[in-house]
Amino acid sequence: MVAFVGILGVLQIIGGILICILAPTSIQQILGAVLFGMGVIAFALGVLIEKANKQIEIVAKLAAPKPSAAIATANVGMASGSTLSSSTK
């Protein structure tokens, strides 16, 4: 999706420049300017989506529990339970 939005933005920018250069009337020049502006916005949106995806991946890595810590915690619980049951006998 990011690539599609980025490519669409670049195509709009190129189209806007070409329309502004080749436009015989002022209305078509305005159309080219609007197309150029929308292309810039679309390209910026693609960049923002990519940065948001990277930040989401970083947060997911930080929030995920580490497997070694979970195993160590489970082993401590088993060890204390086994010593407790052996001391009560």
Domain that holds residue 44: 2-88
**Cα separation, 84 vs 78, whole angstroms:** 10
- Cβ pair 6, 44 in contact under 8 A: no
Cβ-in-10-Å burial (0-12, 13-18, 19+) of 59 comes to exposed
Task: Please state the domain count of the chain.
Answer: 1
What confidence tens digit (pLDDT) does each residue in 11-42 have?
Answer: 999 999 999 999 999 999 999 999 999 999 99
Does the pLDDT value for residue 52 go beyond 90? Answer: yes
Q: How many Cβ atoms from other residues are within 10 Å of residue 12's Cβ? A: 20
Instruction: Give the pLDDT of residue 25.
Output: 93
